[in-house]
Structure 1
Amino acid sequence: MSELYVKTNSSDEVAVSEVIEGLQLLDLSTASPAVTNTYDQDTAVDGQSVVSMTYDKNTVNAKFWLHFGTWEDYLLAKHEIYKLFGGREIHRLRTDTEPYVCEYVLPTAFELALIADGSHDATFTIPFDNPSGYRYSVNNSDIMTIEEFGMNRPLDADPEYHFTSTTMRVFNASDIVIDPYEQRHDLKITTKFAGNSCKLTNTTNNSAWTYTKAATQADTIILDGIATTLNGKPASANTDYGTITLDPGWNTITATGTTAIDCTFSFPFIYLG
């Protein structure tokens, strides 16, 4: 049996077996990626042309076994189960089998059922909606330990996400492109530079972002997705409104317009299964 850990924005992470006596996770299974393809058809042209391919929401099923003593124990456990999984918030789930991978889900309706009349055991399955259709690394790249990479750890070098040189190699261990603009993925780039401007270019895929105003290394400039701030205040008007995307694997990032830079890339890895 695995341990299931649950966390919401308003509560600390808990192990379900520790907060509900007799409750054990039997299995946590994620449905295959739900691919949605959209096509455009021209009646004068054979076939159809591809418009887009997206990943739709899928389902995460958590199967539990509950052992209890008295009927009152069962009623109390039932109340605590609905309290733990019945909230309106997004629930983060992870197991001790894959401690560094999580899913952000919403519970749907479920019922507890005794395995037989008079039994002291019950089984039930909670089907969770997974709105993003993704699985994620628990931690972001800039605070992740090497052990958290697991099978996605690159063979040629240990990744780093904080740089003080104008040429940077950023490793994206995700299964897909990190795309803050088209797919609204999380990617925060914190930059401190000295100079009249600073342009970051991902030479691997030619995506780029330019801060067009002068700054000193006392200034903190953050590109958070597609929005830029300067020392905590909105500053997208000081940019060319570009954005950076990260391909799976290694990405070479160059900084031009400055000779002194301090740059940190922070993002969660995204997995499809």
Structure 2
Amino acid sequence: MHLSIFKDGKWIDTRSVGLDVLSFRKSSLSVKNEYESVEGKNGMIPAGTTWEGRDLTADFLIRANDHVDLVLFIDELMTLFTTKEEMGLVDSRSPGKVWFVKVDSTFTPEFVDLSTGKFTINFKSSKPWCRSIGRTYPAIDFENTEWQGLVTEPLTYKSKSKRFRIFNGGVQVDPREMPLDIVFKGASSNLQIINSTTGDLFTYKGTTKANDELHLAGIRHLKNGISIFAETNRKRITLAPGWNDIEIKGTSGAIETSFDFHFWYV
């Protein structure tokens, strides 16, 4: 196995810098439960659950020609893993998933012999999930390795119909926490975008013309790049794991709706 590291806008294969990855491990989800108590009542009342960040650990082996080269090599690796920004980590055993992490502790290489060393690095992901490398729009290419959790039937994320299905291969996508771009093009009056699977409903009280573009960019609602949040019901569309049944109402003439997002995985 090996790791691919995304840093400063480029990918670095650990094999290309002389690192052998002995192991790469992730912790389970770290849960934070909230409770309320009522005077005179036994027990507690569940008040919500949130997931905290994720811990990951990698063990590395360094091989060099001699001890001098080993010391120089260690200095280069210190530079590689020194960053204030999050870096991406991809495990070759799960090539479609990327973790965004920061180094979470000091690490001191141990000399196995004069030309070999080993060390362990602890990483922290600010999110409890990793995500797919690729995004969905306009369609998923089954020939690349930027995805996991796919089904066998074709997956497209652009539709000209009023009823269609969107597949989400990971956990629930909530635009308050994860990038989700929904774009509607076409003429409409009192437009409604409905996800029957989740029960989510978005409405726009105004009108759009054939060439107008309505954009749900995360929690922002835009028409041709200008905010229309006050003219909507101020709701969001989320995507459940698996298939989501989408319906578009209030339209006239030709329309096109697209969904662009990552899959997110535990």
Query: Structure 2 matches for 1:1-273, cutoff 5 A?
Result: 2-8=1-7, 10-18=8-16, 20=17, 22-108=18-104, 109-116=106-113, 119-142=114-137, 144-146=140-142, 148=145, 152-154=149-151, 157-174=153-170, 176-181=171-176, 184-259=177-252, 260-272=254-266
The answer (yes or no) to whether the contact 1:149–1:173 under 8 Å persists in 2 is: no
One-letter amino acid of the structure 2 residue matched with residue 3 of structure 1: H
Residue 214 of structure 1: SS of its match in structure 2?
strand
Counterpart secondary structure, 1:153 = coil
Q: Secondary structure at the match of 1:199?
A: strand
SS at match of 1:212: strand
Aligned residues: 262
Which amino acid letter does the alignment assign opposite residue 186 of structure 2?
F
Which stretch shifts more, 140-149 or 236-245? 140-149
**Cα displacement (A) at 1:149:** 8.2
TM-score (norm 1): 0.89
Amino acid aligned to 1:111:
T
Distance 1:164 1:103 in 2: 34
Cα deviations by residue, 1:167-208 (Å, 9 ceiling, x for unpaired) = 12011111x322224xx2221111112122321011112111
**What's the secondary structure of 2:93's corresponding residue?**
coil
| 1:16-60: CA deviation from partner (whole Å, max 9, x where unpaired) | 221x2x222122111111122111111222221111111111211
| Amino acid of the structure 1 residue aligned with 2:259 | F
Q: Deviations over 1:86-131 (max 9, x none)?
A: 1111111102221101111111221111124xx2111111100011
- Tell me: CA distance 1:250–1:94, structure 2 relative to 1, closer, same or farther (3 Å): same
CA gap of 1:217–1:106, structure 2 versus 1, over 3 A, is farther
Percent identity of paired positions between Structure 1 and Structure 2 = 26
Alignment partner of 2:68: what SS?
helix
Deviation at 1:239, TM superposition (A): 1.9
Gaps of 5+ in 1: none
Distance 1:46 1:231, change over 3 A: same
| Backbone CA RMSD of aligned residues | 1.9
**Where do 5+ consecutive residues of structure 2 fail to align?**
none
More strand by share: 2
The 4+ residue runs of structure 1 with deviation greater than 6 A are none
Distance 2:67 2:115 in 1: 8
Tell me if the contact between 1:24 and 1:65 (Cα under 8 Å) persists in the aligned partners. Answer: yes
